[in-house]
Chain A
Amino acid sequence: MILGIPDLQIVIGYGLAIGLAIACIVYGLLNWNREGDEDGS
Chain B
Amino acid sequence: MAVDTLTLTVLALIYIAVTFYLGYLGYKKTKSTEDYLVAGRSSHPVIIALSYGATFISTSAIVGFGGAAANLGMGLIWLTVLNIGIGILLAFVVFGKKTREIGQRLSAITFPDLMGKIYQSPPLQYISGIIIIIGMPLYTAAILIGGARFIEPTFNMEYTTALFLFAAIVAIYVFFGGLIAVMYTDALQGAIMLIGMSFLLVLTYVYLGGITAANTALTTMADMVPQALSDQGMTGWTTMPELGSPIWFTLITTLVLGVGIGVLAQPQLIVRFMTAKDGKSLNRAVLVGGPFILMMTGVAFTVGALSNVWFFQQDGTIAITAAGGNVDAIIPLFITQAMPDIFVVIFLLTLLSAAMSTLSGLFHAMGTALICDIWGRGRECALSLRANQCGLVVMILVSLVIAFVLPGSIIARATAMFMGLCAAAFLPAFAVGIYAKTPCTRAALWSIVSGTVIWFFWTAFVHVAEAKPLGICQMLTGQVTLLGAPWTVIDPLIIALPVSAIVMAVMQIQYNRMRSKPAVSAS
Contacts and interface: CB of A to CB of B under 8 A. Distances in A.
B85 to A, nearest CB: 5
Nearest to B243: A9
Given A1-B219, A17-B294, A20-B89, A27 B101 contact: no
Contacts of A33: 280
A32 B283 CA distance: 6
B257 interface: no
Contacts of B279: 34-37
B240 interface: yes
Contact of B81 (A13, A22, A37): A13
A37 B370 CA distance: 33
B355 interface: no
A19 to B, nearest CB: 9
A21 B519 CA distance: 48
Contacts of A21: 84, 290-291, 293-294, 298
Interface residues of A, number: 30
A36 B278 contact: yes
Contacts of A35: 278-280
Contacts of A25: 287, 290-291
A18 to B, nearest CB: 7
A30 to B, nearest CB: 8
A22 B89 CA distance: 11
A7 B283 contact: no
B253 interface: no
Given A20-B84, A24-B88, A24-B289, A10 B219 contact: no
B304 interface: no
Contacts of A22: 290
B74 A10 contact: yes
Nearest to B222: A6
A35 B276 CA distance: 12
B101 A36 contact: yes
A4 B238 contact: yes
Nearest to B220: A4
A26 B215 CA distance: 29
B477 interface: no
Interface string B195-229: 00000000000000001111111110000000000
13 contacts: A4-B216, A4-B238, A6-B239, A9-B239, A13-B74, A17-B77, A17-B81, A21-B290, A21-B293, A24-B89, A34-B283, A36-B280, A37-B97
Given A5-B219, A24-B287, 15 more contacts: A3-B211, A13-B80, A17-B77, A17-B84, A20-B85, A20-B290, A20-B294, A24-B89, A24-B286, A24-B291, A27-B93, A31-B280, A33-B280, A35-B279, A37-B279
